[in-house]
Amino acid sequence: PVVFEDDALLIIDKPAGQAVHGGSGVSYGVIEQLRVQRADVRLLELAHRLDRETSGLLIVAKKRSALAALHDMMREGRVDKHYITMVSGHWRNERQHIRQPLFKYLTSEGERRVRVQPDGKVAHSIVTLRRRWPSFSELGVELKTGRTHQIRVHLTHAGFPLLGDDKYGDFSLNKALARDANLQRMFLHAARLSFNHPLSGELISVEAPLPPELVAFRQWV
């Protein structure tokens, strides 16, 4: 679904399970699909990325000038990105800053992973408590930096793995939730974006509702 479009930008609501681009065993991602569907558009380039299992708002640039400006804005923290996630555990603080440096590495199988490490890249997440149950917590996360797997690694390192996370999560819990609650994906959704248009300066603020399968899981909880 297209959430916003003009002559410079396209913002879509990406479903979970779709890679944003080809590679790593995926030949056909969202950007390749868009280029086929929008063959009349001369340029379509990802302004940022979402993990395959993350749903929600994804910005695609239709002009080189918009792409360059967006990259500068993201590097300078001038794009507000808000996510919704549900984690295992009883999160206590109403609002908490996580500033933990993140280091990228490859596993022995050649898979990309990230861990908290002192010599990693600066990473900053702001976590707010949305709702709490005895065993789970629903959190809002605002990204001040955009590192690979940032939310997943920051929260898991804090002792609160994302439900359904197949890389950093609680694997036995994930298996039980898939069986008992039909949670077949990671509970992470890019819900809101707010930024000044890279060319016109106009304020762009868009939202994507929580997908039905995550709403259904929340009701089950």
Q: What local confidence, expressed as pLDDT, does residue 39 receive?
A: 92
The arithmetic mean of pLDDT across residues 30-42, rounded, is 93
Q: Say how many Å lie between the first and final Cα of the chain, rounded.
A: 28
Element (H, E) at 219: helix 212-220
Whether 51 sits among the annotated catalytic residues: the reply is yes
Q: What local confidence, expressed as pLDDT, does residue 21 receive?
A: 86
**What is the pLDDT confidence band of residue 26, given thresholds at 50, 70 and 90?**
low
Out of 7, 13, 51, 165, which one is annotated catalytic?
A: 51
pLDDT over 90 percentage in the chain: 91
Asked whether the predicted pLDDT for residue 27 surpasses 80, the reply is: no
Closest CA to 16 of 59, 61, 50: 50
Please write the tens of the pLDDT for every residue from 96-129: 999 999 999 999 988 889 999 999 999 999 999 9
**What is the pLDDT confidence band of residue 90, given thresholds at 50, 70 and 90?**
very high
The DSSP annotation for 132-197 comes to: E-SSEEEEEEEESS--TTHHHHHHHHTT-PBTT-TTTS-HHHHHHHHHHH---S--EEEEEEEEE-
Residue 97, φ and ψ in degrees, nearest 5 = -90, 130
Please write the tens of the pLDDT for every residue from 119-157: 999 999 999 999 999 999 999 999 999 999 999 999 999
Distance CA 62, CA 60 (A): 7
The arithmetic mean of pLDDT across residues 69-89, rounded, is 95
